[in-house]
Structure 1
């Protein structure tokens, strides 16, 4: 039997054992398959070896189970989250047999809650919500990790700053291995320069100039097809892609601001009411797409690609996505980055991302905590392979720069599922990688965002009241869209503020300011 480079004998037998354990057929069929696979490769077979999950050399393979997000990734034909080249690579390098569960991103937190209540827990959970993490830590659901990290996590200790470890400590002990964000923000404005030129418009800078462009892109046939079928501005559901317009009024949703020596949540600032009033005006005049509350990311991308949208708040990587797709479809399309809209008081900017993007936690009952830390340490150590893909296959060095095979890069994006467990920013590698992906302005986009972040003044661990009231308060935010859609009047914002304070917001604010006082 011939084995390719990524299908070494140990990795091959590990994968076959995994498939056997996952299969729910009858015992005789499993035994027959085992006899065939192991017997044909080694010439002999012993049932007790299969039960001990040993490799042909007799070495046992510790097995661990992990729950991570699929990040919306897809796998090449014939592969899945438990059988693919990058997971096989990790298993072969660590000697671990890894069982992977990837709940759908849309219901990820709900699935985690079900697992926690069932008691049938994996060895590792990767979670994203700090309030969720905080809630279960306080219930004693997770193992403290200090000794394990000291013994098995040298690369984790080296690559994750001390101040970040402090943010996952409770009672002086570490309860999570954090995964970090490479970027500090996401959104920046892009517009079609060819549409601006056709209508005799300059790239907008102020909010008033943005209003003029949005109006023209809606009503003045910017694509020249004789039809009024273009959209001046659109968002996605839950006010996604709206951050620059709140920034023009000096606010951001779910962000804490310093006001008169104390911290105040942006959701209840008068400036947020101003922003909602501006957006409601756009909607009333037909300049903000009517369907925006229904837009998922895929809907937005389709409209951009098909030339129906000429101005929107892009992510830093959209130039390689829907914008590139539109220019491929329409050779005359030309997109440019814009300055952020500057509001009536000279304010502008977008929300910032927290430095921690995820938390790796080990349930208290896990018997394989050491193996989990070894896995996470390997990912931190072999960061480059998992981030870029296999060298000399997906990428290679040429004249001192990284050259990427785009087709293979895109086909193997699923590797990010595993790499994202422990993201450890590397600025040099980050720029080299982005530059290698082509002339999409990716690195410059990120620099533009970094210079316009409106910082969140609260960066501590979730307070007790956040864990108690956050879900209820999140539901109250529906009123923002209703105000924009004119289902509710603008003054409904004042009622929202009163309800927000009454339903736990006041208590959260007191705790946040208690934290803030200790930082000064």
Structure 2
């Protein structure tokens, strides 16, 4: 997502250089030899023979050197392509990318993150003619690409009707929910709450009975300051995602009738002393410290943090136990946990590439079924075991040799990769149990996918998204604290609309009308 306006300003500044570059660039027609398996199409199998060129790939930042990582060696041996990997910097990668594109650095593949900010840059490069149209190349050399990647993802990656990037789709899952001290529940003689009313009752018991023995330092529920729109709770008011379908129209939370009901509920938690009185000042680490030190009974937590949190909690309180609560149901039966959907990353080929055909052949070869599986999770009985369809990692070799494998992906086999990927959450069964509870055990209707996940680049929406989100977040915090009166919501909604909300709404729904069923 757009982190600040600087991203777009840099893109505009770079576009002049990009335009000049494209005007004088020429594309190589090196066809190299096929890297696809014998089972793929005749077009690939009969591509002209000859030595394969060394490719040059620019990747997202990771802590390990791509060139010495075991996956790189495996891919070279399997695809026949030697690749020189470079990385974008961890800090301000967009700025560096703009410079490299504008200067015509001859990368054969560039992989970036797939968020709104990079989608904006990608669309700008494509419109300026700095990228290679991949459609004809995929038709000729990419049967595995066409077979493996979700057609909806390929469609969403198009700019002005042409495909300039191969998307690597996000694994759709619920990330955050409410993590509660089970031993506190046991001490107050209650079950995990399943409705908003039950949640209030549990938090009152935590406050009044003080099962942690904290006295005036007791905190029934804590969250970090940047999460006033609290996942799970907000789903009980019908607005689990930032934008949600309301009567056939995608509508931002602030304009949904459920928003007022939510802030009334959250502000009431705050007034009763059930929500951390310091939550607005909490950094993520601050909230976690309150929970792991035993002061707080419930916290907003991502499942990826469970092992670290539980290790710290059990170090302080060896008998402590904690679990996720179910998806909460509101008074009118609404329920929902926001689930991810969209692009994890995108891979494009700049016009400056010397080997565009070979770059597609290389990416196509990576999606051959056996190659893809071994790239993603390694070799059976060496990196993982397979039993009853479940892939379980063998440690420490899985982490040593496949922990960064996801950074080598240039598209995934979208039908099977979610199953392979679960090996990653089985590295620690506490991790898996948390993920599994929200994403398998909980009913499917509790997981509400982001409806904008597969939206194409939308200029007005992208330009306004970060600013509007910040506005709504700050305003929501003030409402919960009582600094702003709830009676002022309508006035704020008008401010939201005039600050880009109206133009974003129109653009989003013009697109939504073309895809909804």
Residue in structure 2 matched with residue 96 of structure 1 by the alignment = 82
1:152 aligns with 2:141: yes
Unaligned runs of 5+ residues in structure 2 are 1-49
1:451 aligns with 2:445: yes
1:326 aligns with 2:318: no
- 3-state SS in 1 of match to 2:486: coil
1:193 Cα deviation after fit? 1.6
Residue in structure 1 matched with residue 55 of structure 2 by the alignment = 63
Which of these residues, 351, 357, 364, is aligned with residue 377 of structure 1?
364
The normalised TM-score by structure 1 is 0.75
Q: What do the CA deviations read for 1:452-484 (whole angstroms, capped 9, x no partner)?
A: 023445553233422443344344233233333
Which of these residues, 44, 69, 91, is aligned with residue 84 of structure 1?
69
Taking the TM superposition and a 5 Å limit, the aligned residue runs for 1:256-405 are: 256-259=244-247, 261-293=248-280, 295=282, 297-323=284-310, 326-327=313-314, 330-381=317-368, 382-397=371-386, 402-405=391-394
1:232 aligns with 2:228: no
Farther-moved stretch of structure 1 (473-482 vs 323-332): 323-332
Taking the TM superposition and a 5 Å limit, the aligned residue runs for 1:116-195 are: 122=107, 123-130=109-116, 131-132=119-120, 133-195=122-184
Q: Is the Cα contact below 8 Å between 1:476 and 1:496 reproduced in 2?
A: no
- 3-state SS in 2 of match to 1:279: helix
Farther-moved stretch of structure 1 (448-457 vs 248-257): 448-457
Which of these residues, 508, 511, 516, is aligned with residue 512 of structure 2?
516
Farther-moved stretch of structure 1 (261-270 vs 247-256): 261-270
- 3-state SS in 1 of match to 2:275: coil
Q: Distance in 2 between matches of 1:479 and 1:113?
A: 34
Paired residues, number: 453
Q: Is the Cα contact below 8 Å between 2:173 and 2:339 reproduced in 1?
A: yes
Residue in structure 2 matched with residue 208 of structure 1 by the alignment = 197
Unaligned runs of 5+ residues in structure 1 are 1-57
Farther-moved stretch of structure 1 (184-193 vs 426-435): 426-435
1:64 Cα deviation after fit? 0.7
1:245 aligns with 2:237: no
Q: Is the Cα contact below 8 Å between 1:246 and 1:275 reproduced in 2?
A: yes
1:387 Cα deviation after fit? 2.9
Q: Is the Cα contact below 8 Å between 2:287 and 2:299 reproduced in 1?
A: no
Q: Is the Cα contact below 8 Å between 2:228 and 2:477 reproduced in 1?
A: no
Distance 1:168 1:240, change over 3 A: farther
Q: Is the Cα contact below 8 Å between 1:219 and 1:228 reproduced in 2?
A: no
Q: Distance in 1 between matches of 2:225 and 2:513?
A: 36
1:135 Cα deviation after fit? 4.2
Farther-moved stretch of structure 1 (141-150 vs 277-286): 277-286
Which of these residues, 447, 452, 473, is aligned with residue 468 of structure 2?
473
Q: Distance in 1 between matches of 2:291 and 2:395?
A: 22
Q: Is the Cα contact below 8 Å between 1:66 and 1:125 reproduced in 2?
A: yes
Residue in structure 2 matched with residue 9 of structure 1 by the alignment = none
Distance 1:91 1:189, change over 3 A: same
Q: Distance in 2 between matches of 1:234 and 1:82?
A: 43
Distance 1:234 1:65, change over 3 A: same
- 3-state SS in 2 of match to 1:264: strand
Q: Distance in 1 between matches of 2:410 and 2:58?
A: 10
Q: What do the CA deviations read for 1:176-207 (whole angstroms, capped 9, x no partner)?
A: 11111222432333322211111222221221
1:66 Cα deviation after fit? 0.8
1:159 Cα deviation after fit? 1.0
Q: Distance in 1 between matches of 2:287 and 2:372?
A: 32
The normalised TM-score by structure 2 is 0.75
Which of these residues, 457, 460, 463, is aligned with residue 462 of structure 1?
457
Q: Is the Cα contact below 8 Å between 2:292 and 2:310 reproduced in 1?
A: yes
Distance 1:355 1:253, change over 3 A: closer
Distance 1:135 1:289, change over 3 A: farther
Between structure 1 and structure 2, the one with the greater Rg is: 1
Q: Is the Cα contact below 8 Å between 1:233 and 1:311 reproduced in 2?
A: yes
| Backbone CA RMSD of aligned residues | 3.5
Distance 1:110 1:242, change over 3 A: farther
